[in-house]
Amino acid sequence: MNQSAASAAEGYVTEIPYVAGYYRDLGPSMHALALQWRGFAAPPIGAPLTCLELGCGYGLSTLVHAATNPQSQFIAADILPEHINTAKSFADAAQLTNLTLLETSFEELLNHPLPPCDVITMHGVWSWINDANRARILEIVAARLKPGGIVALSYNTLPGYASMLPLRELMMRRFRELEGSVTERVKASVVFAQGLKLAEAAFFAHHPLANQRIDDIAGRAARYLAHEYFNADWHAFYHAQVAEALKPLGLSFGGSAQVLDNIDEFNIPKRARLSLEMEDDVTSRETIRDYLMDRQFRFDLFVRDGMKTVDDADRLRGMHFISGTPPQNVDNITGQTILGQVRPDRTRATAVLTALAGGPATIDDMSRHPACVGIPRDKLVDTVVALVGFAAVEPALPPNADDRGLAATQRLNRALWERAEMHEWTRANASPVTGSGVSVSREEQLFLLARARGEDPPTLVVKVLRENEMDVRARYQAFSNGRLPALQKLGIGT
């Protein structure tokens, strides 16, 4: 990174690269699901789209979505050369022809000849940059997003994150005063803040979130922390502030990309839900929900004027779903929200999983299945969406999807497994069946790599991870009987 590139970052950390994260909420499948469920006629899964990701980091989300959605064009931009060069090496290994990776700042991107986009995404960006860069992003969106297009945008949220502001200030103040490498200064600043907690500073006693978060921070890698907490800019916003910034561009709130967040039943106590009943204004309603849920982070989808709506009775029509969770495992399906541990309606979830046990199906297919008889369509839709939120069901590409995705996905996964052989990097693998990523542990990736090479999988794991051979052989046996067939159903592994 040269000096001018560092100064172009305007205080964003450039000395060390970030961690490699994959987010299904950035992908077309989750946008289609969340928006269609909320009554918008978002493009169906498998539609040809042009998607732009801003501040893509290592670009893993876009790499996975580009490999598995060959019918669409993807562009991803980031200022850090290490991020973009690594992303390019994976794009080359997967021979992706539908992905353009740009090493560029948001300022430079303003003058880059970008095509009209159906979707513009950014994760971990809006809260971590300055006003000038937020204004540039708005300019890019204003100029490039098509009418009816989608913006997916995550940010630190108020009021839930309020007590993180003084904790970040405490660490950042110390970070600025110190000398040494970024890693050293990050570590020392965290130790300093933790020391104040140990010294029984009343701040930590009075702010449970900061009290718990500082211990979590102390256990994290410096490269994650540097990008998360030690940029010159770090902000938290009320939803209304973000909605008001996007309104002049003709954008309005469409839903959360994290589908479970949309469902009041799993997030808001029954009595508190009454306070939403009179709230017709979507911005006020969402802002009040943030108080009811004490929300710390949001992953919003905004839609530009021009997106049509669908009749309630037609929501998710034609969309395919797949599940690797057998109905007998229904009691293992849980999620954690502000209400504590939540779970889907047992009877309806069992019915859906039974209907999906035979392979991908649409809502209409499911309603014809004997297990779902008597369940009204709208309840079936809500149950399927909840199960997606609980990660027990995935939206899937249509059966007639462009099969170029299969070869590209296999090549991308192979490159990811080879990286896993070198060191722990990411759990993301790509599924040509869902069009999204799947979380696969490093050990599982090594099993898959050895199988692809025709080698003995436990031998490779023992060599790379230096684990006890008997234990690894037992785990491989279990993998072969359970996890492997589930991954193969998703088109991952041979």
Ligand X SMILES: C[S@@+](CC[C@H](N)C(=O)[O-])C[C@H]1O[C@@H](n2cnc3c(N)ncnc32)[C@H](O)[C@@H]1O
We find the least distance from the C-beta atom of residue 139 to ligand X, in angstroms, to be 13
Candidates 75-83, 139-147, 288-296, 441-449: pick the segment binding ligand X (CB under 6 A): 75-83
Kind of pairing between the strands at 428-430 and 437-439: antiparallel
We find the least distance from the C-beta atom of residue 224 to ligand X, in angstroms, to be 9
Task: Please measure the distance between the N-terminal and C-terminal CA atoms of the chain and give it in whole angstroms.
Answer: 40
Does the protein bind ligand X through residue 57 (CB under 6 A)? yes
129 vs 217, beta carbon nearer ligand X: 129
Site size toward ligand X (CB under 6 A) is 20
Closest CA to 452 of 489, 486, 421: 421
Question: Which residues, other chains included, contact 135 with Cβ-Cβ below 8 Å and sequence gap of 6+?
Answer: none
We find the least distance from the C-beta atom of residue 163 to ligand X, in angstroms, to be 21
190 DSSP assignment: H
Candidate list 15, 21, 146, 183; residue touching ligand X; CB under 6 A: 21
Candidates 79-87, 268-276, 447-455, 467-475: pick the segment binding ligand X (CB under 6 A): 79-87
Candidates 52-60, 65-73, 404-412, 477-485: pick the segment binding ligand X (CB under 6 A): 52-60
Candidate list 12, 175, 321, 447; residue touching ligand X; CB under 6 A: 12
We find the least distance from the C-beta atom of residue 130 to ligand X, in angstroms, to be 9
Candidates 51-59, 208-216, 285-293, 318-326: pick the segment binding ligand X (CB under 6 A): 51-59
CB burial of 187-214 (b: ≥16 within 10 Å; e: otherwise) equals bbbbebbbeebeeeeebbeebeebbebb
In degrees, rounded to 5, the angle at the alpha carbon of residue 51 between the alpha carbons of residues 59 and 75 is 50
Helix or strand or coil: residue 75?
A: strand
We find the least distance from the C-beta atom of residue 449 to ligand X, in angstroms, to be 24
Candidate list 28, 29, 50, 78; residue touching ligand X; CB under 6 A: 78
Is the alpha carbon torsion for 461, 467, 468, 472 positive or negative? negative
Does the protein bind ligand X through residue 86 (CB under 6 A)? no
We find the least distance from the C-beta atom of residue 247 to ligand X, in angstroms, to be 24
Candidate list 90, 106, 155, 237; residue touching ligand X; CB under 6 A: 106
What's the CA gap between 353 and 392, in Å, rounded?
A: 9
We find the least distance from the C-beta atom of residue 437 to ligand X, in angstroms, to be 12
We find the least distance from the C-beta atom of residue 491 to ligand X, in angstroms, to be 24
Output Rg (C-alpha) for the chain, integer angstroms.
Answer: 23
What's the CA gap between 299 and 123, in Å, rounded?
A: 8
Residues within window 109-168 making contact with ligand X, judged by CB under 6 A: 123-125, 128-129, 133
Candidate list 64, 80, 372, 450; residue touching ligand X; CB under 6 A: 80
Under 8 Å between Cβ of 396 and 360: yes
What's the CA gap between 315 and 113, in Å, rounded?
A: 36
Residues within window 205-234 making contact with ligand X, judged by CB under 6 A: 227
Does the protein bind ligand X through residue 9 (CB under 6 A)? yes
Does the protein bind ligand X through residue 491 (CB under 6 A)? no
What's the CA gap between 452 and 232, in Å, rounded?
A: 45
What's the CA gap between 102 and 173, in Å, rounded?
A: 33
Beta bridge partners of residue 189, listed in sequence order: none
Does the protein bind ligand X through residue 79 (CB under 6 A)? yes
What's the CA gap between 182 and 12, in Å, rounded?
A: 12
Residues at the site binding ligand X, with contacts judged by CB under 6 A: 9, 12, 18, 21, 55-57, 78-80, 83, 105-106, 123-125, 128-129, 133, 227
